[in-house]
Amino acid sequence: MARIVIADDDVDIRKLVAFRLRRAGHDAVVCADGGEAIEACTLERPDLILLDVMMPGMSGLDVARIIRRDESLSGVPIIILTARAQESDIEHGFEAGADDYIVKPFSPRELVLRVDAVMARGRS
């Protein structure tokens, strides 16, 4: 079981992701914006972070950059959830420190597979 922080300002998406990940045996911590996500990451010490790009206040990319600069969190895998599938958007995600990206709309089943794959990669 892994502890996963989910940050998305869309209540439907964050609850859906949390539901699916809990069903897959993970512990999900949900946040509605970037600030909450930073706080949750500091407190919860997650095994993986799922970040929406467009959030009020601090964007997911900003959160990723901050996490990558934090010594204690810099090794935590980050998956970016984005509605923008342009090559440059994905590039920005990786530049900010993401390990993988999932384009919205996404299949909940695929999401779990990607989460597991990123965590397996992190362990190896």
Partner 1 sequence: MNGRILDGAWALLLILGVLVAVAFISLCVMRLALEAHERVDARRRDEVREIFFALMMGEPDEREAARAELIGRSGRRWALAEDQAFRMLPKIAGDSRATLRELLMSRDSGVRAERRTRSRSGVRRCRGAHRLGALGQSRHVELLLPLLGDRDFLVRRTTVRALAHIGDPAAVGPLLQIAPDSRMTRDLTTALGRIGFEGAPTLREALARSFGDSAPMSPDELSRAQVATSVLGLIEDIGAIDLLCRILHADAPALRLGAAESLGQIGSPDAVPALVAATTADDPALRTAAARALGQIGAPEAADGLRIAIENPQRDTARAAGRALIRLGEPGLLVLAESSAPVAVEALAVTRLRNSR
Exactly one of 2, 3, 9, 15 binds partner 1 (CB under 8 A); which one? 15
53 touches 88 (CB < 8 A): no
Which of these ranges, 14-22, 34-42, 50-58, 89-97, lies near partner 1 under the rule CB under 8 A?
14-22
Nearer to partner 1, 66 or 102 (CB): 102
Which of these ranges, 25-33, 36-44, 46-54, 103-111, lies near partner 1 under the rule CB under 8 A?
103-111
Nearer to partner 1, 15 or 68 (CB): 15
Nearest-angstrom CA–CA distance, 124 and 121? 5
Exactly one of 16, 32, 73, 117 binds partner 1 (CB under 8 A); which one? 16
- The least CB distance from residue 24 to partner 1, in Å, is 10
Angle CA(100)–CA(104)–CA(109) in degrees, nearest 5? 75
9 alpha carbon, distance to own chain's centre: 12
66 touches 34 (CB < 8 A): no
38 touches 66 (CB < 8 A): yes
Interface with partner 1 (CB under 8 A), residue total 15
Q: Two tokens at 49?
A: 């972070």
Binding residues for partner 1, per CB under 8 A?
Answer: 10, 12-13, 15-16, 19-20, 23, 104-110
